[in-house]
Amino acid sequence: MCGNNMSVPLLAEAVTVSGVEKETAAVIFLHGLGDSGHGWADTLTGIRLPHVKFICPHAPPIPVTLNMKSMMPAWFDLMGLSPDSPEDESGIKKAAENIKAIIEHEARNGIPPNRIILGGFSQGGALSLYTALTCQHQLAGVVALSCWLPLHRSFPSASSGNKNLPILQCHGEMDAMIPVQFGAMTAEKLKSIVNPQMITFKTFPGLPHSSCPQA
């Protein structure tokens, strides 16, 4: 029963890139608003490691306030993209629980949480940060691209207390959607939640709200 993906809704539909050898580690990568797991699965296949499984779930379609309530794949509702915008607290927490269910499923199937990296881009990166910081397990690390920390005012008290969580934050200096200053503010906030030496914040000149091979 442990191997049954149907008990984990996001996992049943996720794009999974299997390792070519016995899988002893996993990367769970969360796409951005309006996207799907397919695009990132293609990118991650290019850096495939023999023993690593890549899991790229799809966010469900929901009405997004920021886009005039249009239905689109989103991990949670977005009301705005500034540090003081109202936030979808219940949606963020529910989404985090769904990602934690994937982590638990992988743990039951032989990949311990300390061998699982959580990553994401934009809204997916935001959810990866929130999930890892509130997860009861110590994860291998977080790769957070062009994003922010949701419900930032609830930290550090909302944190599960794993101070030695490595976090790599990458941000384009020409990002007009999530300004790099927002990323820098997030990095400073993260230093109050985990040990500051665990935080790496890299910026990329000329890069807009997208990824690049160097990242």
Which residue in 31, 35, 88, 122 is the catalytic one? 122
* Closest C-alpha to 107, from 181, 40, 28, 41: 28
211 in active site: no
Which residue in 31, 88, 171, 175 is the catalytic one? 175
159 in active site: no
Alpha carbon of residue 16 to chain centroid: 16
Q: Classify the C-alpha dihedral 158-163-103-44 as positive or negative.
A: positive
CB 134 within 8 A of CB 160: yes
Angle 55-168-106 (CA atoms, 0-180°, nearest 5)? Answer: 25
Q: What is the CA radius of gyration of the chain?
A: 16
209 in active site: yes
Which residue in 51, 58, 137, 209 is the catalytic one? 209
CB 20 within 8 A of CB 110: no
CB 64 within 8 A of CB 126: no
Please give the positions annotated as active site. 122, 175, 209
